[in-house]
Structure 1
Amino acid sequence: MAPHERARPLAPGSPYPARDLCSQCGLCDSRWIAYVRRACAFLEQRFEAMEEHAHGRSRDLDNEDELYFGVHQRMLTARLRQPIEGAQWTGIVSRLGVRALETGLVDAVLCVTQSADDRFTPVPILARTPEEVLSARVNKPTLSPNLKVLEQLPGSGIRRLLAIGVGCQIQALRAVQDSLPLEQLYVLGLPCVDNVSREGLQTFLESTVSSPETVVHYEFMQDFRIHFRHSDGREETVPFFGLDTPKLKDVFAPSCLSCFDYTNAGADLVVGYMGATFGRQWLTVRNDRGAELLALVEDELDTAPVTSRGDRRAAVQQGIEAYDKALKLPRWLAELFGLVIGRIGPQGLEYGRFSIDSHFTRNALWVRRNHPAMADRHIPAFARRIISRYRLPSL
């Protein structure tokens, strides 16, 4: 039976099946809602099955790199030798999408542009031209219904698709992949953590940056600072430790506070920043399809091996307690801490582990406090092993 024949659209006003944990990935806005019970990352975690399906095996928990970063063939750092104008960094993701179309590898690219009225309101599209791909450059740090455009696939003539997305979207996509009217699917993943609703984003900007209305994009970077780019070209940075934690502690989406797929375990190729030194992007090739994608642009990249320096553990443990108590440092002290840890703190892959440890411990505590009945089945084995290395506050 075809997916749409089994689909049962939700009645108007009904909550999505994951209710308050819904990440608004868009699956339930398509006929593939029929698969939501086994596709939604917040109803059932299926990491081992997803990895087996996508990569031919699940991660080796005794291999420290795979424990943290998932199944992979290769990791490297890179930047485009000729950056794309207007890209958030050098534009590797956008260039991959363009090359996938130009070479005929795919018929379309699932990516996210923005509303004509608001830079931060995401609008998913099936891009058929390089120009459409380039219109989607720069991250949209809000919840995005990427998978709703799956509804456009039947009858579109699209047989080969490159899908760009974050972990919760890719988990759902992998679960329905075999039912899609496609001959081939390539998945380009983005590491993702701490998305917000559009309203939550406004709260974050207003409490953090000098001119919220002019922010074009921002990112939490490896130098332990948040980098903001303004529409006039001005750059502004704020130390992690200078955030208004009491105000922001509850601004992040519940789906993000219960997510353990920071590194996008189901993607073929992942492009982000968290495992690279400052100024470079971190690429993780998980399987042969990922290698095929990277081959499209590798001769245009300045590449280098991944590196790792420092020890994250003390900083993670201190951060757990500081976040739980919602401590807010004076700006001068936050700047000083940021300067010191940026120079002597974890870098490269060790920074990636720092970020994973910090978020996994925080999220495990959040799930155990807010959804205790689901905690045991929801927190995957690899996350439990990482979390066990730290002391968590009492529930």
Structure 2
Amino acid sequence: MNPPPKLENPRFDEPLCSRCGLCMGNAWATAESLKSCVFNTGWLGAHEERLFGRTRNMHDADELRFGISRERFNAVMKKPLEGAQWSGIITAISTEALQTGLVDGVVTLQGTTFQPKAVLATTAEEIHAARGNKPVLSPVLQALHTAWKKKVKKLLVVGASCHVHVLRDFAATHPWLDGIELLVVGIPCTDNLEPAHLKWVFRHISRSPDTVLNFEFMQDYKVHIVHSTGKVEKIPFFSLPAAVLKVGVFSNSCMSCFDYINSLADITVGYFGAPYTADGKEQWILIRTDKGKKLFDLVKNDISVRPETGSGDSFGAVKASIQPTIGPILQPHLLGDRRSMPLFFGKLLSALKAKKGPRGIEFARYSIDIHALRNYFFVRHYTPERLDVLVPEHIRHLVKLYNVTDFDDLPPHSEK
């Protein structure tokens, strides 16, 4: 299978687009939607202040990374929902919000791994049909047009940070969503791909690429690939082929994202701050607003809650990862035709890293920091003219904490 054109010749001079979906409907003019594009308005900053009345405290180590929240804890459904990617907390919240009348509809994603479809779900069956992650650029906000046309007045939106940023700005600066009460469940999100890129990646790394449902980078330093057969294929990071690690594989929009943790949601529901367990069901929740608390309270009796736990040294792990993670992105020739580590040795190294490396909440700190640093240097190198618009102040503070000087002598990329 030949690589898609954007992988053979990646370009960085095109407008950034995460395919959020807001400009893909006809309820209002496309030009109106584009004014709220996060790649035009920037990440966090004024958006955060508008929602919380302040920006995050950069001298609070956790708020710096995780954003403003009232409560953080680990959680798991007492009876995990069949077919859910984790234990089904988002599905349960969405269903209860609809059935109790808290909302009249839920904007979410159905479809397949490679062809996600934005829907306005108005029944429990439609919500359940949206279970599972779609690890590609997804037009969630296209369904806002449907909600507006149907005159929905109470709406739950489930989305990634790019969706949530655009939604918050559009609701605050345009009249189209006036009169609609919005509640937002946010999903931590990073490194999504265009569908053609994802298919190409799976052809390179999976033994059964045609049965793949979704994948995640997990705390055991392996990529977990979930198949429609129920099998979970686990591939050590260190055994991934160089071809799937090259710049251009992941979307430029994801490489220019600075809100992995989805800081503008009412409640964020993810997994990577929870301890890694064999059954892979435990999740991590951040309640941010009164609405977030109201959403969680709908399902609290069906959920077991545990305090955050963690071990290891996230700061040291990030320092050790800076050169091997960021260097090949800024200097693709460093990967060259590098051979991947044999699977046997990759498994040994993954086991060692998982035992000695950051775990639980320390893994969340590690993951947020290394992605923030990577994306900062990606933007600085490939599109420096976007740096001032895209990069929020707390990310610049984070970069200073690590005192990264490795790439100071590297000139900006040129398309010539």
For 2:78 and 2:179, locate their aligned partners in 1 and report how far apart those are by CA, in whole Å: 34
Report the 3-state secondary structure (helix = DSSP H, G, I; strand = E; otherwise coil) of the residue aligned with 2:54.
coil
Does 2:378 correspond to 1:384?
A: no
Partner of 2:46: 49
Partner of 2:407: 393
**Equivalent residues in 2 for 1:242-281 (5 A)?**
242-249=239-246, 250-278=248-276, 279=280, 280-281=282-283
Match of 2:16 among 16, 21, 25: 21
Does 2:137 correspond to 1:152?
A: no
Partner of 1:290: 292
| Root mean square deviation of aligned Cα | 1.8
Match of 1:360 among 349, 372, 380: 372
Residue by residue, what CA displacement relative to the aligned partner does 1:38-80 show, whole Å, maximum 9, x if unpaired? 4211122151221222233221111111100001000010110
Partner of 2:77: 80
Report the residue type matching 2:392 in the other structure.
P
Does 2:215 correspond to 1:218?
A: yes
Match of 1:336 among 345, 348, 369: 348
Match of 1:69 among 66, 69, 82: 66
Residue by residue, what CA displacement relative to the aligned partner does 1:286-329 show, whole Å, maximum 9, x if unpaired? 11111011001111001101122110233323322113233643
Structure 2 residues not aligned, in runs of 5+: 1-12, 329-334, 411-416
For 2:153 and 2:231, locate their aligned partners in 1 and report how far apart those are by CA, in whole Å: 43
CA contact (8 A) 2:43 2:390 kept: no
Instruction: Assess, with a 3 A threshold, how the Cα gap between structure 1 residues 119 and 183 changes in structure 2: closer, same or farther.
Output: closer
Report the 3-state secondary structure (helix = DSSP H, G, I; strand = E; otherwise coil) of the residue aligned with 1:28.
helix
- Give the TM-score of the pair, scaled to structure 2: 0.86
For 2:14 and 2:159, locate their aligned partners in 1 and report how far apart those are by CA, in whole Å: 21
Report the 3-state secondary structure (helix = DSSP H, G, I; strand = E; otherwise coil) of the residue aligned with 2:40.
coil
Instruction: Assess, with a 3 A threshold, how the Cα gap between structure 1 residues 245 and 261 changes in structure 2: closer, same or farther.
Output: farther
Report the residue type matching 2:389 in the other structure.
R
Partner of 2:162: 168
Higher normalized contact order (CA 8 Å, seq sep 6+, divided by chain length): 2
**Equivalent residues in 2 for 1:125-140 (5 A)?**
125-140=119-134
For 2:343 and 2:254, locate their aligned partners in 1 and report how far apart those are by CA, in whole Å: 27
Misfit runs of 4+, over 6 Å: none
Report the 3-state secondary structure (helix = DSSP H, G, I; strand = E; otherwise coil) of the residue aligned with 1:254.
coil
**Equivalent residues in 2 for 1:304-315 (5 A)?**
304-315=306-317
Give the superposition deviation at 1:275.
1.0
For 1:46 and 1:208, locate their aligned partners in 2 and report how far apart those are by CA, in whole Å: 33
Structure 1 residues not aligned, in runs of 5+: 1-17
Give the superposition deviation at 1:331.
2.8
